[in-house]
Amino acid sequence: MKDVYILGIETSCDETSCSIVKNGVEEINTVILSQVDIHTLYGGVVPEIASRNHVKDIVFVIEKCLKDSNLSMNDIDAIAVTYGPGLIGSLLVGLEAAKTVAYIFNKPLVPVHHIRGHIYANSIGNGMTFPLLALIISGGHTELLYMKDHFDYKLIGSTLDDAVGECYDKVARVMDIPYPGGPEIDKLAHQGNDTYNLPIPLDDDSFNFSFSGLKSAVINLAHNLEQRGEKLIKGDLACSFQNVVIKSLTSKTIRAMEEYDIDNLILAGGVSANKGIRDEFAKLSSEKGFNFSTPHIKYCTDNATMIAAAGYYLYINGHVSSLEIDAESGAKFV
Ligand code: KG4
Ligand code: ZN
């Protein structure tokens, strides 16, 4: 069968990225320009600044990706792009760029839901094996998805309030760690001890999650320590907090694997870069005999490689769109 090359574009938040992926599994080349250093100055992503930087960077990123791949537009079968969810101004830059390229070079346009992208980060190098349970953990999402096939899936649990990445970033703020705080908490957690008593959130029979209570518990703990003139030990707080997150995520996910009788478990999203979370899932999966997959660290946070990989499966199954498609900041996956 002829090889299929997808050019992917991702601009849903603060990364401007373009990638070319072959047959949904082989990364040919990826370019990512991150704006994190700019947004750190403001303690979080500023939407207006994000879209302006996408406008500044998008042409460079696409041109560089193609040039360094030693391919030309003639080799590209389709253009995949994130249409939502995300920051509307940011999404529009990538979508309009993708439409322009598709129009000029007469290529099919493949709109990709950002969450589908995160899931298919697991396809790079491996392909996808169904049925599977996907735990999607990112700055905006905490979802358990049962996937029978590429296009047959259902949501079995999600967060009732904050997403897990959002919780990491807010807890980091209490500890004076700059945005995005997730990676630093992960590092600190491995240097500290589990000494602070924090509640396991929504410890019930559902497959839903909740992180706002945990965030408040950390904030209260920090205030109480301050009032008593006691020092907050960052490593210990990071370790105690991360252990609670791990317990919450693993207990519900493993129970769902057993209840739905599934063998394949994948993690997806920015928080799946977390070493503590990856290690615990790997350990439990090996004990339970599950096939466990996480994306390579570089494909966990936002990137266009995952969009091109997801775009491949959409394209070969005929999920192409007209150039009329609009960006959807609140696009639902299920
Ligand atoms: O998937 P992503 O790049 O953007 C969204 O789609 O939301 O995820 C970003 C989130 C941020 O909240 C960041 O703090 C978190 O992923 N993150 C981590 C780690 N690396 C990134 N959280 C915990 N541990 C990490 N190692
Ligand atoms: Zn993302």
Q: How far is CA 10 from the centre of its chain?
A: 12
Alpha carbon of 164 to ligand 1 centroid (Å)? 9
- Edge-first strand order for the sheet with 264-268 is 152-158, 142-149, 132-137, 264-268, 291-293
Looking at the fold, whether 95 and 210 belong to one and the same domain comes out as no
Q: What pLDDT score does 83 carry?
A: 98
Looking at the fold, whether 137 and 279 belong to one and the same domain comes out as yes
| CA–CA gap between residue 329 and residue 85 (Å, rounded) | 4
Asked if residue 171 is part of any domain, the answer here is: yes
Looking at the fold, whether 106 and 229 belong to one and the same domain comes out as no
Q: What pLDDT score does 242 carry?
A: 98
| Mean pLDDT, rounded, for 149-160 | 97
pLDDT in tens, 204-226: 999 999 999 999 999 999 999 99
**Residue identifier of the C-alpha nearest atom 13 of ligand 1:** 182
Cα distances from 229 to residues 90, 175, 218, 222, 237, in angstroms, run 44, 16, 16, 11, 16
Asked if residue 237 is part of any domain, the answer here is: yes
Asked if residue 142 is part of any domain, the answer here is: yes
**Residue identifier of the C-alpha nearest atom 22 of ligand 1:** 182
What is the count of structural domains for the chain?
2
Alpha helices in 190-289 (DSSP H): 212-227, 234-259, 275-288
Alpha carbon of 326 to ligand 1 centroid (Å)? 26
Looking at the fold, whether 159 and 279 belong to one and the same domain comes out as yes
Determine the Cα angle at 182 with ends 50 and 173, to 5°. Answer: 80
**Residue 266 forms beta bridges with which residues?**
134, 293
Other beta carbons within 10 angstroms of residue 49's beta carbon come to 16
Q: Which amino acids bring their CB within 6 angstroms of ligand 1?
A: 13, 138-140, 165, 168-169, 180-183, 186, 269-271, 273-274, 301-302
Alpha carbon of 75 to ligand 2 centroid (Å)? 28
Asked if residue 332 is part of any domain, the answer here is: no
Looking at the fold, whether 167 and 308 belong to one and the same domain comes out as no
| Mean pLDDT, rounded, for 241-252 | 98
pLDDT in tens, 298-330: 999 999 999 999 999 999 999 999 999 999 999
Q: What pLDDT score does 115 carry?
A: 96
Instruction: Determine the 3-state secondary structure of 315 from DSSP.
Output: helix
pLDDT in tens, 62-76: 999 999 999 999 999
| CA–CA gap between residue 108 and residue 86 (Å, rounded) | 23
Looking at the fold, whether 10 and 81 belong to one and the same domain comes out as yes
Asked if residue 163 is part of any domain, the answer here is: yes
Which domain does 28 fall in, by range? 5-122+299-316
| Mean pLDDT, rounded, for 44-61 | 97
Asked if residue 334 is part of any domain, the answer here is: no
Which ligand 1 atom sits closest to the C-alpha of 179? 14
| Percentage of the chain lying above the pLDDT 70 cut | 100
Looking at the fold, whether 274 and 193 belong to one and the same domain comes out as yes
Find, among 231, 67, 29, 261, the residue nearest to 148 by Cα: 261
Alpha carbon of 188 to ligand 2 centroid (Å)? 23
Other beta carbons within 10 angstroms of residue 26's beta carbon come to 15
**Residue identifier of the C-alpha nearest atom 23 of ligand 1:** 182
Q: How confident is the model at residue 1 (pLDDT cuts 50, 70, 90)?
A: confident
Alpha carbon of 52 to ligand 1 centroid (Å)? 22
Which ligand 1 atom sits closest to the C-alpha of 166? 12
| CA–CA gap between residue 137 and residue 147 (Å, rounded) | 16
Cα distances from 54 to residues 78, 112, 150, in angstroms, run 21, 18, 30
Asked if residue 324 is part of any domain, the answer here is: no
Q: What pLDDT score does 172 carry?
A: 97
Q: How confident is the model at residue 334 (pLDDT cuts 50, 70, 90)?
A: confident
Looking at the fold, whether 100 and 140 belong to one and the same domain comes out as no
**Residue identifier of the C-alpha nearest atom 5 of ligand 1:** 139
Whether 177 contacts 160, CB under 8 Å: no
Asked if residue 81 is part of any domain, the answer here is: yes
Cα distances from 328 to residues 13, 84, 173, in angstroms, run 13, 5, 29
| Mean pLDDT, rounded, for 182-200 | 97
Q: How confident is the model at residue 129 (pLDDT cuts 50, 70, 90)?
A: very high
Which ligand 1 atom sits closest to the C-alpha of 301? 3
Alpha carbon of 171 to ligand 1 centroid (Å)? 13
| Count of residues in the chain | 334
**Residue identifier of the C-alpha nearest atom 1 of ligand 1:** 270
Looking at the fold, whether 141 and 223 belong to one and the same domain comes out as yes
Cα distances from 269 to residues 61, 176, 257, 334, in angstroms, run 22, 24, 19, 17
| CA–CA gap between residue 225 and residue 247 (Å, rounded) | 25
**Residue identifier of the C-alpha nearest atom 10 of ligand 1:** 139
Residue 262 in this model has a pLDDT that exceeds 90 = yes
Looking at the fold, whether 66 and 144 belong to one and the same domain comes out as no
**Residue 65 is part of a domain; what is its CATH number?**
3.30.420.40
| Percentage of the chain lying above the pLDDT 90 cut | 99
Residue of 33, 91, 188, 301 best suited for mutating to test ligand 1, as the one with most atoms within 8 Å of CB: 301
| Mean pLDDT, rounded, for 10-39 | 97
Looking at the fold, whether 234 and 305 belong to one and the same domain comes out as no
- Edge-first strand order for the sheet with 5-10 is 26-34, 15-22, 5-10, 78-84, 109-113
Looking at the fold, whether 189 and 267 belong to one and the same domain comes out as yes
Alpha carbon of 137 to ligand 1 centroid (Å)? 8
Alpha carbon of 265 to ligand 1 centroid (Å)? 19
